[in-house]
C-alpha cells in the first residue's frame, strides 16, 4: 500500500469533535506540502471539496476559505491547520508533511477556530498580521 495523507475538515466551531468532511486517500510523496495535499485533494474530490488560497507575499500562502466557509465569517474565526496533531507554525505553502520509514500515513486537520480568545502565535499571528505598507 502506498503512503497517504488524510485531510479532515472541522467547519462548525460549535461541533469541534464532528468532522464535516474527510478526504482519506491523498497520495503522499516525498517533500509534499500541506498546500500540495489540498490541491490534490480538491482534484480528486472536486464534487464536494473546494478551497481558496491567499498569498501574503512575505508570509507565504494561507487557506482563507474551505467549502464556502471563509475567514472572518464569524468574528475572530479563521482556518487553522495541524499536521499529525501539531499546529503549524508556518503557512500552508511552507508546511512540509514529514515522512519516515515507519509512517505510512499523515493527518492534516483543518479547524475553523476562534482565535480571539487566545494569544496569537505561529500561523494565527502571521495570518492576521497586516502586510507592510509601501509608500
Q: What is the pLDDT of residue 122?
A: 58
CA distance 32 to 113: 25
Q: What is the pLDDT of residue 68?
A: 93
Which of 10, 22, 19 is closest to 48 using CA atoms? 22
CATH number of 4-128: 2.170.130.30
74 Cβ partners below 8 Å, 6+ apart?
13, 112, 114
Global confidence as pTM: 0.82
| Per-residue exposure over 28-51, b if at least 16 CB sit within 10 Å of its own CB, e if not | beeebbbbbbbebbbeebeeebeb
What residue spans define the domains of the chain? 4-128
Confidence of residue 91 (pLDDT cuts 50, 70, 90): confident
pLDDT tops 80 at residue 119: no
Q: Which of 45-49, 71-75, 87-91, 125-129 has the highest mean pLDDT?
A: 45-49
**Cell triple for residue 32?**
509534499
pLDDT tens digits for range 58-78: 667 889 999 999 988 888 889
Which of 47, 25, 35, 131 is closest to 79 using CA atoms? 35
Pinpoint the alpha helices (H) of the chain. Answer: 34-44, 122-128
Confidence of residue 89 (pLDDT cuts 50, 70, 90): confident
**Residue showing cell 506540502:** 33
Q: What is the pLDDT of residue 57?
A: 61
Amino acid at each position: 500500500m502506498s503512503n497517504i495523507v488524510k485531510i479532515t475538515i472541522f467547519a462548525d466551531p460549535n461541533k469541534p469533535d464532528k468532522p464535516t468532511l474527510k478526504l482519506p486517500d491523498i497520495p503522499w510523496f516525498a517533500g509534499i506540502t500541506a498546500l500540495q495535499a489540498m490541491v490534490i485533494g480538491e482534484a480528486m474530490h472536486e464534487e464536494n471539496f473546494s478551497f481558496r488560497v491567499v498569498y501574503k507575499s512575505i508570509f507565504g500562502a494561507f487557506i482563507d476559505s474551505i467549502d464556502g466557509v471563509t475567514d472572518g465569517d464569524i468574528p475572530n474565526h479563521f482556518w487553522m491547520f495541524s499536521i499529525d496533531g501539531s499546529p503549524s507554525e508556518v503557512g500552508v505553502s511552507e508546511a512540509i508533511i514529514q515522512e519516515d520509514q515507519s509512517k505510512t500515513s499523515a493527518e492534516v486537520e483543518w479547524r475553523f477556530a476562534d482565535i480571539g480568545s487566545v494569544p496569537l502565535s505561529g500561523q494565527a499571528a502571521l495570518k492576521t498580521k497586516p502586510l507592510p505598507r509601501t509608500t
